[in-house]
A = this chain, B = another copy of it.
């Protein structure tokens, strides 16, 4: 918990630089997500698929926690995945209220295709940079994650 004193003595310029970065990176992320317009899936759908894929077995509740997503929103999304045959759901053995969700063969195929095109898009973006710049970029990104992980619970 910070005090008024902390906030007031905090260098204004530093805060402004961080805000500038946030604005800048919001645009970067926006650009990178633009490609999704051409895919059959929306950004939140892809995020959900990502979680299912990387957990192999996951419950609704876990997804809502991981993505800070409303459970009703997710419930409807999973229904649409189900209709499209992208997921399998089976009742959890130790808690019959919960379902273990996993990607079907079709779902996995779809996800991996999206995944590849995201990767290609980033690779394409990076192709405008030389090797050293890419290395530096990653160093900076790791650095930010390391520092901010301390505070983001």
Q: List residues of A whose CB falls within 8 A of some B CB.
A: 2-3, 6-7, 10, 12, 14-22, 24-32, 68, 118-120, 122-129, 133-134, 136-145, 147-148, 150-152
Is the Cβ of B138 less than 8 Å from the Cβ of A140? no
Q: How far is the CB of A93 from chain B (nearest CB, A)?
A: 31
Q: Which of B6, B28, B123 contacts A6 (CB 8 A)?
A: B123
Interface of A is mostly: helix
Is the Cβ of A2 less than 8 Å from the Cβ of B151? no
Q: Which of B16, B30, B124, B139 contacts A2 (CB 8 A)?
A: B124
Number of this chain's copies in the complex: 2
Could you show 21 A-B contacts with beta carbons less than 8 Å apart? Answer: A6-B127, A7-B127, A12-B119, A15-B126, A17-B142, A18-B122, A21-B142, A22-B28, A25-B144, A26-B29, A27-B152, A29-B29, A133-B150, A136-B143, A136-B147, A137-B143, A137-B148, A139-B140, A140-B140, A140-B147, A144-B144
- Given A18-B122, A18-B138, 14 further pairs, Cβ under 8 A: A2-B123, A7-B127, A15-B126, A16-B119, A17-B142, A21-B141, A21-B144, A22-B32, A24-B148, A25-B29, A128-B150, A136-B147, A137-B144, A144-B144
Is the Cβ of B14 less than 8 Å from the Cβ of A126? yes
Is the Cβ of B18 less than 8 Å from the Cβ of A141? yes
